[in-house]
Structure 1
Amino acid sequence: MGIWFTEKQTEHFGITMKINRSLHSEQTDFQKLDMVETQEWGNMLLLDDMVMTTEKDEFVYHEMVAHIPLFTHPNPEKILIVGGGDGGVIREVLKHSEVKKATLVDIDGKVIEYSKKYLPSIAGKLDDRRVEVKVGDGFMHIAEAENQYDVILVDSTEPVGPAVNLFTKGFYAGISKALKEDGLFVAQSDNPWFKAELIAQVQKDVKEIFPITRLYTANIPTYPSGMWCFTLGSKKYDPLEADSSRFPDIETNYYTKELHKAAFVLPKFVADLTK
């Protein structure tokens, strides 16, 4: 039968996959970290027994976190990524020629270290000359920043452990302060099947701070329920008004110019969470 791993996504539901071998396992200062080789998804990063990314489907999440906001902002020169130590969002951000500097702040340096070792196709741009990597608390980095960034991308784990503070109204207010006067941000916002109340609260909190607040989705098969949500908050630019015909061509596997706006077309039960 081999070795099988199950991520228990709720008390009554989980997703199961066959593991070929364990590559690394460690209790870091912040969380349980595992790198495993799977039969179906290639190498996989687990944090506290939750799937963070896999070699096979990672492009969906990383492209949708990065390209929606960076194509919405007309001149995204200075970018901050909170979390994202696997490097996938950085890789996508650097596809935008306007980007002059991308700062990544992840609280757990071990995620960065072992992603470079076992997920090189994802983490391969962390040493790029335009990238500054800081091991530290993203919440505090945001709190200490003011009028610095064009775009902030919050690539956090689910709201447990070290990521709890990254789903609070105070954090979103800090993001607003850290952004320039025409800045915008995107944060992963979990899934509508199991975390509907969380999404509704995030939408409510962000709307009280940002004049433009949008929710969009993507299909990520190894994440709970497969339907994943992202919240965009903007001071000035609306992603639905972006002229996609002027977007330069970049290499992607999921994101397209047509999908830029289509991703905001929500099923009714998801749209209801934004009211």
Structure 2
Amino acid sequence: MERRGKRFNQIWLTEEQTPNMKLSLRVNRVLVNKKSDYQEILLVETAEYGRMLVLDGAIQIGEREEFCYSEMMAHIPLCAHPDPKHVLIVGGGDGGVLREVLRHKNVEKAVLIDIDSDVIEAAKEYLPTLSCAMDDPRAEIRSEDALSYIRSVSECFDVAIVDSTDPVDFAAGLFESSFYEEVKKALKKDGIIIAQTESPFSDTKIMIEAYKNMKSVYPITSLCWGAMPTYPSGMWTYTIGSREVDPSTPRHTVPEGTKYYTRDIHKAAFVLPPFLKDLLHDK
């Protein structure tokens, strides 16, 4: 009998995305496997999506597909804002959203706050295509509790991007109305906040609650969506709030180098399928 060696000793990364659904990816190499003060950090090289960051068993970002998420989180609010100069990023220690934010030449300063310095250091060493903007002189990288920092500033930012992990443990509060209220105080009058708000299929309740909480704080609240292949269901939502700016209208030229975001994608992202409208109805 012929033994096919490549069939043996395989390593697979499996994320349990819901109690009834899993995603498995073949792992070529384990780069980081450690427990920080806040979470389990795993950074692997996969055959399908390249290097991938996994926190507490949940896939955060992969080299091949991250642009779908990073570009939407950054360019939707920055292209909608009249003149975004100061940007706050909560979470996002991998650096992908920061990279996209700093594609905008009019941005003068971007403050990235991720509570876990070990995530930032791992990204710097093993995810250079994502973390490449961390050395930009316009970037300020802080490893601390984001809420404490936000409470220390007032009307400082034009855009706030909440690039959080799933709403568990220390990240749970980032989906609540009280947090959105604190961010509102840190934003200028024409400021915009965008937050990732999970999948309408696998995390329906979380999405609805986040939208409802945002709507209770900001008079203009919208939901938009896009593709994200490695996240549960592949369909991902983003909730946006502001006091006076309509986020569905792009006002600026698309930055060079985008692979997902365009002006047409921006406008189309706010066109919700009927089932999604029904989920948000009266919320």
Post-superposition CA distance 1:219-248 (Å, at most 9, x none): 1111111001000001111023444xx525
Percentage identity across aligned positions?
Answer: 46
1:147 aligns with 2:155: yes
* Equivalent of residue 226 in structure 1, options 208, 220, 234: 234
1:78 aligns with 2:86: yes
- TM-fit CA distance, 1:140: 2.0
* Matched letter for residue 212 of structure 1: I
* Equivalent of residue 183 in structure 2, options 175, 183, 190: 175
* Matched letter for residue 10 of structure 1: T
- 1:185 aligned partner: 193
- Whole-angstrom distance in 2 between the partners of 1:248 and 1:162: 34
What is the DSSP-based 3-state SS (H/G/I as helix, E as strand, rest coil) of the residue aligned with 1:250? Answer: coil
* Equivalent of residue 272 in structure 2, options 263, 266, 271: 266
What is the DSSP-based 3-state SS (H/G/I as helix, E as strand, rest coil) of the residue aligned with 2:59? Answer: strand
- TM-fit CA distance, 1:65: 0.0
- Whole-angstrom distance in 2 between the partners of 1:24 and 1:267: 40
Alignment of 1:10-159 (within 5 A): 10-159=18-167
What is the DSSP-based 3-state SS (H/G/I as helix, E as strand, rest coil) of the residue aligned with 2:259? Answer: coil
Structure 1 length as normaliser, TM-score?
Answer: 0.97
* Matched letter for residue 54 of structure 2: L
- Whole-angstrom distance in 1 between the partners of 2:29 and 2:83: 44
180-189 or 232-241, which moves further after superposition?
232-241
- Whole-angstrom distance in 1 between the partners of 2:254 and 2:35: 43
What is the DSSP-based 3-state SS (H/G/I as helix, E as strand, rest coil) of the residue aligned with 2:155? Answer: coil
Distance 1:3 1:241, change over 3 A: closer
Unaligned runs of 5+ residues in structure 2 are 1-6
What is the DSSP-based 3-state SS (H/G/I as helix, E as strand, rest coil) of the residue aligned with 1:272? Answer: helix
- 2:223 aligned partner: 215
Contact between 1:71 and 1:247, CA under 8 Å: does it hold in 2?
yes
- TM-fit CA distance, 1:209: 1.1
Q: Count residues in correspondence.
A: 273
* Matched letter for residue 262 of structure 2: T
- 2:211 aligned partner: 203
What is the DSSP-based 3-state SS (H/G/I as helix, E as strand, rest coil) of the residue aligned with 1:239? Answer: coil
* Matched letter for residue 71 of structure 1: C
- TM-fit CA distance, 1:97: 1.0
* Equivalent of residue 245 in structure 2, options 229, 237, 246: 237
* Matched letter for residue 31 of structure 1: Q
- TM-fit CA distance, 1:249: 4.5
* Matched letter for residue 174 of structure 2: L
Contact between 1:215 and 1:274, CA under 8 Å: does it hold in 2?
no
Contact between 2:254 and 2:263, CA under 8 Å: does it hold in 1?
no
- Whole-angstrom distance in 1 between the partners of 2:170 and 2:214: 21
- Whole-angstrom distance in 1 between the partners of 2:207 and 2:46: 30
- Whole-angstrom distance in 2 between the partners of 1:215 and 1:114: 32
Distance 1:242 1:54, change over 3 A: closer
Contact between 2:96 and 2:130, CA under 8 Å: does it hold in 1?
yes
- TM-fit CA distance, 1:162: 1.8
What is the DSSP-based 3-state SS (H/G/I as helix, E as strand, rest coil) of the residue aligned with 2:180? Answer: helix
Contact between 2:225 and 2:269, CA under 8 Å: does it hold in 1?
yes
- Whole-angstrom distance in 2 between the partners of 1:170 and 1:133: 24
Unaligned runs of 5+ residues in structure 1 are none
What is the DSSP-based 3-state SS (H/G/I as helix, E as strand, rest coil) of the residue aligned with 1:102? Answer: strand
- TM-fit CA distance, 1:141: 1.7
* Matched letter for residue 105 of structure 1: I
- Whole-angstrom distance in 2 between the partners of 1:133 and 1:176: 21
